[in-house]
Each structure stands twice: as C-alpha cells, then as structure tokens.
C-alpha cells in the first residue's frame, strides 16, 4: 500500500462544497483548513464517509474496512448505521453494518510515522527505514537472549 500526504486544497475542485476523495484501498493523510461551513470536504471509503471540520487526519482502507485517526480537529464518521464525531487523539474502525466506535491512539507516535512522508520521501527510503528498525529490534532481542 502507498501512504501519501495530501493537502485537501490541492485535491479540491473550485466548488469546495463538492470536495471529496474516494479511497477504495490504501492510506491517505489529509490536512484541511478550517472552513466557514463544517463537512465541506469528505473522504469516501467502501465502508463509510469521513467529513471534516478543519482538521488533520489519516484514513486507511484494507479489505473493505476503513480506519480513521484524527491528529487535529474534528472528523465526522458516517456509515449505513450511524454517525460519530472524533476529536484529536481519537480513532475508529469503520465497517459497513456496524456502528462505528471510537478509541484513543498515540498522536505523537502516529505523527512520527507521518513525518517520514513529509517532503515526499519515496517508498524506497521508507522501506529502508523500516528494515533498519526491524534489524535493530532483532539484534537487540538476540543480544538479550545471549546475555549481552
């Protein structure tokens, strides 16, 4: 999957009331400036729609399930059963036919991962970073087992 930061104003048509992105699979991070009217920008997924109210948030879609993480502001999560509002530090998994529920997540840790993609880091650099972290972890576990 590709994770790419997106500024909503880059994707939005001139008529902001119609601004929307459809995400069937993958991940996206969106920054939307505060607007006079709430919910003017939407991310549509197979399992629900996220409407924003001036915010920064990430959406991941895999196998028909969506997850939204709110870094700043408020996001409305709506599916065929109902709607919830998520504030900073809250996330939700969205499935068709199930009322979305919110849960807390670590904004600092999530933001650290987001920072890897700022400035257009390529998938190769991200892959190398992750491989390096995995290698460090494995080396630490081996040393621990050997008593070093």
Q: Per-residue confidence of the chain (148 residues) as pLDDT tens digits?
A: 334 444 444 444 444 444 788 888 888 888 877 654 555 788 888 988 888 767 888 888 888 889 999 999 889 998 999 999 999 999 999 998 999 999 999 999 888 888 776 655 555 665 677 677 777 877 888 888 788 7
Taking alpha carbons only, the member of 116, 134, 133, 113 closest to residue 125 is 116
Q: How many domains does the chain have?
A: 2
138 shares its domain with 95: no
Element (H, E) at 3: strand 3-7
**Total-model pTM:** 0.66
Is 92 found in the same domain as 146?
no
Q: Read off the tokens for 11.
A: 């994707």
Same-domain check for residues 26 and 48: yes
Query: Any idea what the CATH number is for the domain that residue 49 is in?
Result: 2.60.120.1440
Q: Are residues 95 and 124 in the same domain?
A: no
Domain of 99, in residue numbers: 3-117
Same domain, 131 and 105: no
Same domain, 113 and 123: no
């Amino acid at each position: 999957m590709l994770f790419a930061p997106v500024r909503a104003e880059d994707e939005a048509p001139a008529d902001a009331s119609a601004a929307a992105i459809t995400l069937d699979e993958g991940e996206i991070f969106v920054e939307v400036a505060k607007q006079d009217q709430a919910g003017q920008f939407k991310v549509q997924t197979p399992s629900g729609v996220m409407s924003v109210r001036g915010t920064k948030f990430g959406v991941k879609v895999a196998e028909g399930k969506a997850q939204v993480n709110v870094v700043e502001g408020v996001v409305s999560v709506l599916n065929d059963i109902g709607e919830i509002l998520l504030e900073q530090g809250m996330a939700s998994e969205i499935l068709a036919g199930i009322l979305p529920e919110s849960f807390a997540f670590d904004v600092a840790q999530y933001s650290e991962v987001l920072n890897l993609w700022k400035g257009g880091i390529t998938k190769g650099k991200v892959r190398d970073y992750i491989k390096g972290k995995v290698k460090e972890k494995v080396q630490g576990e081996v040393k621990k087992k050997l008593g070093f």
